[in-house]
Structure 1
Amino acid sequence: MKTVKELLSHHFCLWLLALLVANNTTMSTSEEYQTYIIHMDQSYKPASFSTHESWHRSTLASLSSSDTIYDEKTLLYSYNHAMHGFSARLTPSQLSELEKLQAHRATYPESYGKLFTTHTPKFLGLKHSSGIWPTASYGKDVIIGMIDTGIWPESNSFNDKGMSSIPGRWKGICENGTAFSPSLCNLKLIGARSFSKGYQAGGGNISTEFDYDSPRDCTGHGTHTSSTAAGSNVVGAGHFGYAMGTAQGIAPGAHLAMYKVLWAGGESDKSAASDVLAGMDQAIADGVDIISISLGFDEHTPYFNDVIAIASLSAIEKGIIVVCAAGNDGASNSTHNGAPWIITVGAGTVDRSFVGRLTLGNGLTIEGTSYFPLSILIRNAPLYYGENNISKATCAFSSLDPTEVSGKVVLCDYTGSDNSGQMEEVQRAGALGGIFSNDKFILEPEIYSMPALILQSRDGSLVKNYVMSTNSSMVKEMKFVITKLGIKPAPQVTDFSSRGPDPVNPGVLKPDILAPGQDVLAAVRADKPEMDMGMYTLATDYAIYSGTSMAAPHVAGVTALLKAVHQDWSPAAIRSAIMTTASSIDNTYSTITDQATELPATPLEFGAGHINPNKAMDPGLIYDIHFQDYVEFLCGLGYNNKQISAVIRRSQWSCRDNASDLNYPSFVVVVPKASIYPLVMNFTRVVTNIGDDDSIYQAVLDVPSGMRIQTEPNTLSFTGKGQQQGFTLSVEISEIDASVTYGYLKWVDQHNHVVSSPIVAITV
């Protein structure tokens, strides 16, 4: 794996190496030496020194506490670009003497990162010794087609060590193009194509300044999603010290094929619908088993105007599973890619967080969110707060006076928006660090170009009270690059994840499922700068991204595992298994909460619940759906012949006059606001036994206030696998006090199968 230091300039390489590599050597009989980075205030440099380095050497040579003679090896590096200061091997006594100097601003001791897993596989319960991973041979012989921005084939996540041979059904190729040749493909990456005719026809220009005219990834997005779905194991991956561990895809035994349809053109990335359609068309022709799509279009259009919906139904007809991201709109009625034949994925959190730790002069220690990429320590720094000036208190644009804040940690009040502007202002003014209050907005990792952390407002108030209670408030200690596991509650629905009801068809519950989508570590374009650090930029081959784009490939990976175990299952059967075994309970044994409100979420946010791959392998019963069922569904929507033909790509079809509702593993009662109560709606469903031959399932109902639910029959008996039983679910609504209310139908047998389906009533 390429290291960060291989990707940076020579001088910055030395700086980062000094910061991250341990250099503990016993140089004295009385005290041990340790490497520190010392941040100095350059304004104190005497004019007699022509360079910063000569000043730093003189400072070290003048230390009286040294019991050895200063030599050239004491000073490691002198810095005057990314920061002003130096790194040196010092004893505790020497460090103490240095920290008393007026010019001293902060101390950054060397540190070692404790290795953790990249965690989402573990959070999903995937184990090497038992469960779906070994049973599925990690997704062996399954092919996942990624519709995305391309791929960085040199990433270690796409090495083919231990991979099985390419399945004989594969018809795809690796095309030749700019900075990409067929030789870059292997047993892991078995196909790579790009589609840009629509983009170029619309005026797009594929310039080497912004992108590659080939399947090579420019932005890193496609590389990230691909490695999440099926990346090979890579030891020692991490995001600048955060989330250190072994990076691995959900189905590391599966093959990958990339279909590049999204292009970088300077100000924004663009994807033409014609190119998306061409990519999906080629994926189907090539013989993929799964199509994963982490993109969508802004407009919510009927299925007959939605190229992703249309192409997906064609894929489903050929037995190909289609998994799509629900979108990042973060609002109700905003889900994308909601056609009922698509597995639509929302984003959840995991039980891991990245923090900075703050200790105040009064001894109070508080943790806040931080992605600052250097393991530094700020110690005994003055704390600044512009309490008598609103602009300064909120760190408004051009409000801070550098002479007032230089060398200090600045506290900024919450303004009701994200903190990126405040961070820019604090950095502009030359502050040592920043503390920001915010309950809702989490900044992207690349924004943390200075030592900074974001506190919950209640913790921000504690800091504010402290700084206002004394004239000599101090930050005793401020440290970074801390990864914490076991965070509760988790999972939560992320604040950015799009919510239902689905704007195209509220009668189908969307999203279907929740999967990890926040702070996901995966491979990226190795030579693309991830963030700026002063005059320098940092690059990495693994990075933390967030979005439903990250959630969808998790589910694509799970479907690959299920496909490997159950090769005869239809796409609908696999979706049913995923949905009916999902959990709506978090790690505090409470209902999954909404990150945005900290209140209990509903199936409009989390669908059937959070995905559980091991349980999905043995769901007991499935709700299967065939192509004709989707045709009947479209007939029931009131589409005319031309519109139906556009979706199913046929000129002739048949529909029953009394077409039943879709055999979906969830139930939605759409209640018009002018309804007269009580309102009754009946659903018919057919379930197929894929569990034990002799199984008796009993209906267990979780009924909310204002709703009455009955099943007929309430017991389903099976004597063999493949047997089907039908039932009717009757929902009576007496009243709805809120815009949504929900309960559950759970079919429970004597073999510990629990087949769970949400029953949701919504007002529209």
Structure 2
Amino acid sequence: MIKSFKKTIAILTASVIIGSLAGQSVFAAGPAQSSQSDNLKSLQKRLLEASLQRIADKNSKPDASAFIAPGIDTSSSKKIKVIVRLSVQPAAVGIYAAKQGNRMLAQEFTQEKVADEQTAFLVAAKAQGIDLSVNYKFDTVLNGMEVTVNANQIQKLAKIPGVQAIHPNLIYHPISEPDSLASETLDKNDMVPLKQIGVDKAWEMGFTGKGLKVGVLDTGVDYAHPDLKGAFQQGSNGPVYGYDSFNQDLDPYEDLPRGYFGGYAGSAHGTHVSGTIVGRAVNVTGDFNQKGVAYEAELHSYKVLGVKDDDYTAEAPTGTSAQIINGIEHAVEDHMDVINLSLGSALAKDANSPDSIAVNNAVLAGVIAVVANGNDGSSGHYYYSMGSPASAQLAISVAAATSPSVQYEVSVKDSVLAQSNLLRLVAWQSGQTVFGSIFGTKPVEAVYVGLGRETDYTSDPTMFKDKIVFISRGLISFEEKVKTAKKMGAKAIIIFNGIDKVENGVSVPNLDDNIPGRNGPIGSIAALGDGHDYIPLIDMPGQLGRSIARQLQMWGTLQFTFASDIKVIQLKGDTVAEFSSRGPNSDGNYGIKPDVSAPGVNIYSTFPAYGKVNPSQSYEHAYARESGTSMASPHVAGLALLVKEKHQDWSPADVRAALANTADEINKDGTMYDVYSQGSGRVNIVNALKTPAILQALDKITIYDNQYNPITMDSEAPNLSFGMIQAGSEASKPLQLKNTSGGSLTYTAQVVMHLKVTSDPDPTRAIPTPNVKDIKVTLDGLDTGNSNKITVGPYDRHRLTLTAKTKAKAPPGVYEGEVLLTNAKSGIPPLHLPFVIHVGEDDSANNSFAIQDIKLSNNTVTSDKPVDISFTLHSNTVNYILIGLYGLDEKFLGYVSYINDIEVKDDTEKLNYLPAGKITIPDFDGTYVDEYLSPEGDNVIKQLTDGNYNLGIIANSFNPETGELEDQTAIFKSIFVQDSSTESVTPSP
């Protein structure tokens, strides 16, 4: 009996037409003014009425209603916090317009006009009887406010004139990798990652960030740290630290530790990030200190993540959309040159989420925004694992790369399987690398301690003294495992790759033989290096370690024998960290994100000692190593300061292009990383400072929700996506070569296709690079009479056109390449701009995904113009397909269709495999079957409201006999739903 499918629908397509309701636009006005009075109060009334009438005129279509983000339960009576976005463009748009010379547009979008509309909105809400309280107001990078309101009044709120969208107030987290935390070093300061990206040479050139301001939006900062306190501006009343958007005061200090026996440990993330950017390296209390990339820049801290003072059991700081937007607004108003956001939400896969809009508008206001790309690359989803605000199209999104490092290799034989294996020794106590004297050559007794928590050890202190502890990866950080083992007196640790699971409410190691992504060694993320509180840590492949652990459950004893020959292994670095989130962007055009990569594994930087509350506190050991794109992003923020220092007239887009155009492309074992992993490559500041020109794409992008007053502009991006094109077709995109120097420049141009790039490391999901011979990409607009030269005059721009043409039988897949420009003059670095082309076509044998070629007959869905959904099943082992609907917050809404073939015989059910081929679901009009049944047990048919959604085709392979799920794959397509009663709008690509 297959219990999972006792209640199934063989082929169900919900296609119920829901009629629209006719009504009138609703707006409110203040009390009628007295014609006899001309005082200030009546003037305010007239201004308010004028503002209301302008909004009413703009929204005079019947039943005008704002977009309500999926996932908001408007049937609940509970009070919730939401972001309300209004129609007048924020002041940053006016700032951008002024810079472009558009005086009329600059006068149209000002803080005063935003204030008028916000006042009108609040008056209208009161007139409608809507009880709300305002928590935050935004006018610079977002026109809107965070309000607390009863959820069942949101639909009423959405009909107030001027309201454009209502979004949930999402929860955001610092983006650091929990598997790798604090370790100390005896080096004065760690120059390895800085030399990797050329910072030492930039300093020699005289660039240190002096005179520029950087805002760090994070958990706050320990401004008592010796290496940081000198980086703050000295105002008339003392240092100016920034702003605390979390607590809404002027003291953005890190959360203090509180509670006992497992209480909240306090925050540290913002201090670590700040040290990477501006560490002054002046701490004389110990043998080491921290020197930041732009160590003479001025630091401003904007605390947007935290834990409330009365919370003693929190595990980590978090923040909301409103707090992050508030921090961005303060940073813009404080005239930051660069802001760094090492934070994000993996669930918010929306290029136009409120915080992404705020980031975009900070850039329009002239601020360079650098954002961590996320740490979800190894969380089960590889591509599309990035979230928001890394998805902001004008930001510099940063992936994490490894740095050069030293490891050791030793042959280890276990007594259970009696196998000898070469294993990497990836951590050790500072100054103690004579491992032969530690291990010896005789068998050493070992004890299996599960996940390596302190509670996994027995209370007998002699049980582990001078023994090897055998541990599974999972649940807690490597650092905690190492320090706990040392505390217990262990000689060393052997840790095998794995993951934790919950059994009977308790976390235990998962000892399954096959765990995708955890079968080999742990790799660079476990390479802590040296530390005062460490013992040797040895990295064992997961499949081997789990096999030994399973045998131990039967045999009970274990010994390890070490060979005398221990080799030194020099790792060159420049690999993309496995945890680093991958693109494409959620912009509907397979946009290339991240933009660049930077060092982000085991990065050494400042750590808080909380000297604010204890002035005598020593900062001798107030340093740590952490991993994550959180650590990569501040490296790029520092580089952006150095480029801006040299080119103070450059726009944020210019700085982004210089860093990306001149980045070094990196590879994994000789295979180039795909663009959705590395972006344009690992940054190289020397080339970025030396380049006299930049290369940018000029394809049109929309930085607002495309159904609400979109702002369409040239992307000026350092990369280009052609989006999805069909085999046998062609597409063209504009580029520009911009000369920022006073002399004429000539480049040799070529289009280079990437013959092979990396893919998903999970072999069940990996796909080979398609044959680039099936696509021809040409560059037009070159010098007259010369097939490969481009000449651009002083301070001039040269327009180019990049055209991609696919063969009629080109297989589907992702084709990559780059435009490469080289200059014959010594000292001028080459420029490259990566591009990507997604080709879709039926019956492709070169793509191993079970579901391919998902298409809609129209990307806009309305109730009176249904669309057909089609896709190709390219597998003979799929027996259950679900067509589901998801909000942009990844919340599952319901089903469009099931496809399966259930054979019932002798009161048993069997799922037969479905035949491969093209499948069409006709007449999808936005109706669907809700996830939950009615109280009577019936299906509930619902209609999607206006907005953007993800349509997911999920192919499942169940064992026909046991009903166990053996494989699953999915592909998603973004759709835009619009009520047929409103004017049809097709989203921009």
Band of TM-score, shorter chain = 0.5 to 0.7
Following the alignment from structure 1 to structure 2, what is the Cα–Cα distance between the partners of residues 702 and 724? 23
Q: Pick the aligned partner of 1:151 from 221, 225, 236.
A: 221
Which residue identity does 1:228 align to in structure 2?
Answer: T
Deviations 1:179-199 (A, max 9, x none): xxx64x3xxxx4322112589
Match of 1:513 among 596, 614, 619: 596
Select which of 552, 558, 579 maps to 2:639. Answer: 558
In structure 2, the residue matched to 1:378 is: 438
Instruction: Note if 1:525 corresponds to 2:628.
Output: no
Correspondence for 1:433 = 492
Question: Which residue in 2 is equivalent to 1:319?
Answer: 366
Paired position in structure 1 for 2:327? 279
8 Å Cα contact 2:209-2:642 kept in structure 1: yes
Provide the secondary structure at the position in 1 that maps to 2:590: coil
Aligned-pair CA distance for 1:289: 0.8
Partner of 2:243: 193
Do residues 639 (structure 1) and 682 (structure 2) align?
no
Counterpart residue type for residue 822 of structure 2: V
Query: For 1:371 and 1:708, how far apart are their aligned partners in 2?
Result: 52
Aligned to 1:578: 659
Contact 1:323 1:345 in 2 (8 A): yes
Query: 1:262-301: CA deviations, max 9, x gaps?
Result: 1134233111221211111111111111111111124325
CA distances 1:113-161 after superposition (whole Å, capped 9, x unpaired) = 576744221111223xxx432445311101101111111112222253x
Which range moves more in the overlay, 688-697 or 451-460? 451-460
Counterpart position of 2:405: 352
Deviates more, 1:738-747 or 1:505-514: 738-747
Task: Kindly state the Cα deviation for residue 311 of structure 1 after the two structures are TM-superposed.
Answer: 2.1
Among residues 744, 749, 754, which one is paired with 2:818 in the alignment? 744
1:661-672 pair list within 5 angstroms: 662-671=715-724
- Could you say what secondary structure the match of 2:223 adopts? coil
Aligned equivalents of 1:744, 1:618: Cα separation in 2 = 21
Establish whether residue 708 from structure 1 lines up as the match of residue 776 from structure 2. Answer: yes
Instruction: Please tell me the residue identity of whatever aligns with 2:372.
Output: A
Match of 1:33 in 2: none
Paired residue secondary structure (2:241)? strand
Q: Please provide the CA RMSD for this pair.
A: 4.7
The answer to whether the Cα contact below 8 Å between 2:198 and 2:686 also exists between their aligned partners in 1 is yes
The answer to whether the aligner puts 1:120 opposite 2:184 as a matched pair is no
1:603 matched to which residue of 2? 675
Matches of 2:456 and 2:686 in 1, distance apart?
54
Cα distance change, pair 749–452 in 1 and its aligned pair in 2 (3 A) = closer
Against the structure 1 CA distance between its residues 393 and 718, is the aligned structure 2 distance closer, same or farther, given a 3 Å change threshold?
closer
Task: Please report how far the alpha carbon of residue 453 of structure 1 lies from its aligned counterpart in structure 2 after TM superposition.
Answer: 1.1
2:425 to 363, 368, 371: 368
Decide whether aligned partners of structure 1 residues 284 and 371 sit closer, same or farther in structure 2, where only a CA change above 3 A counts: farther
- State whether residues 409 and 475 of structure 1, in contact with CA within 8 Å, keep that contact through their aligned partners in structure 2: no
Closer, same or farther in 2 for the Cα pair 1:419/1:402, shift >3 Å? farther
CA contact (8 A) 1:359 1:477 kept: no
Q: Where do 1:115-264 residues align within 5 Å? A: 117-127=190-200, 131-160=201-230, 183=238, 185=239, 190-197=240-247, 210=258, 218-234=266-282, 247-264=290-307
Task: Answer whether contact 2:592 2:676 (CA < 8 A) is retained.
Answer: yes
Establish whether residue 332 from structure 1 lines up as the match of residue 383 from structure 2.
yes
Structure with a larger share of its residues in helix: 1
Counterpart of 1:227 in 2: which secondary structure? helix
Q: Which residue, 673, 690, 705 being the options, matches 1:618?
A: 690
Is residue 343 of structure 1 aligned with residue 389 of structure 2?
no
The answer to whether residue 732 in structure 2 is matched with residue 682 in structure 1 is: yes
Shift of 1:335: 1.9
**In structure 2, the residue corresponding to 1:696 is in which secondary structure?**
strand
Provide the rounded CA distance (Å) in 2 between the counterparts of 1:394 and 1:318: 49
Question: One-letter code of the match for 1:334?
Answer: S
Q: 1:417 to 1:457 in 2, by over 3 A?
A: farther
Structure 1: distance between partners of 2:205 and 2:484:
54
What's the secondary structure of 2:277's corresponding residue?
helix
Displacement of 1:417 in angstroms is 9.2
Q: Is the 8 A contact 1:379 1:478 kept in 2?
A: no
Q: Report how far residue 220 of structure 1 moved.
A: 1.4
Cα deviation per residue 1:528-569 (whole Å; 9 max; x = unaligned)? 9xxxxxxxxx99311001111111110010010011100111
| Letter of the 1:750 counterpart | A
The alignment partner of 2:584 has SS state of coil
Provide the TM-score with structure 2 as the length reference: 0.50
Partner SS for 1:370: strand
Inter-partner Cα distance in structure 1 for 2:256 and 2:189: 38
How far 1:640 moved relative to its partner? 1.8
Shift of 1:369: 1.4
Q: Percent identity?
A: 22
| Structure 2 unpaired stretches of 5+ | 1-184, 260-264, 498-520, 612-618, 756-771, 784-788, 840-972, 974-989
SS in structure 2 at match of 1:732: strand
Displacement after TM superposition at 1:256 (Å):
0.7
Q: What is the rounded CA distance, in whole Å, between the counterparts of 1:346 and 1:471 in structure 2? A: 40
Query: Aligned pairs, how many?
Result: 563
Partners of 1:282 and 1:157 lie apart in 2 by: 24
Give the TM-score taking structure 1 as reference length.
0.63
* Deviating more after overlay: 270-279 vs 553-562: 270-279
Deviation track 1:331-370 (CA, whole Å, cap 9, x = no partner) reads: 2102232222101111111002466978889999964112
Q: One-letter code of the match for 1:550?
A: M
Shift of residue 409, structure 1, vs aligned partner: 3.1
Contact 2:186 2:288 in 1 (8 A): no
Q: What is aligned with 1:487?
A: 571
2: distance between equivalents of 1:621 and 1:274?
38
What residue number does 1:569 align with? 650
Post-superposition CA distance 1:301-347 (Å, at most 9, x none): 5444322x222233222211111111111121022322221011111
> Conserved in 1, the CA contact under 8 Å of 2:739 and 2:797?
yes
- 1:40-55 to 2 correspondences below 5 Å: none
Distance (Å, rounded) in 2 between the aligned partners of 1:285 and 1:557: 20
CA contact (8 A) 2:227 2:283 kept: no
Alpha-carbon distance in structure 2 between the residues aligned to 1:193 and 1:721: 43
- Is the 1:291–1:321 contact (alpha carbons within 8 Å) kept by the matching residues of 2? yes
Using the alignment, how far apart are the partners of 1:225 and 1:425 within structure 2? 26
Q: What whole-Å deviation, never above 9, does each CA across 1:153-173 have from its counterpart, x for those lacking one?
A: 12222253xx8x96xxxxx96
- For the pair 1:762 / 2:838, whether they are aligned, the reply is yes
Residue 271 of structure 2: SS of its match in structure 1? helix
Shift of residue 689 of structure 1?
1.1
Distance of 2:187 and 2:817 partners within structure 1? 43
1:440 shift after superposition:
2.8
Q: 261-270 or 735-744, which moves further after superposition? A: 735-744
Residues 173 and 497 (structure 1), Cα distance of their counterparts in 2 relative to 1, 3 Å cut: farther
Of residues 453, 465, 474 in structure 1, which corresponds to 2:537?
453
What displacement does 1:230 show? 1.5
Q: Which amino acid aligns with 1:732?
A: K
CA contact (8 A) 2:411 2:420 kept: no
8 Å contact from structure 1 (residues 136, 561) kept in 2 = no
Go from structure 1 to structure 2 and tell me whether the alpha carbon gap of 1:559 and 1:692 turns closer, same or farther (over 3 Å shift).
Answer: same
**Do 1:507 and 1:670's aligned partners in 2 also have CA atoms closer than 8 Å?**
yes
The residue type equivalent to 1:223 in the other structure is T
Counterpart code for 1:498? S
Give the counterpart of 1:543 among 620, 624, 630.
Answer: 624
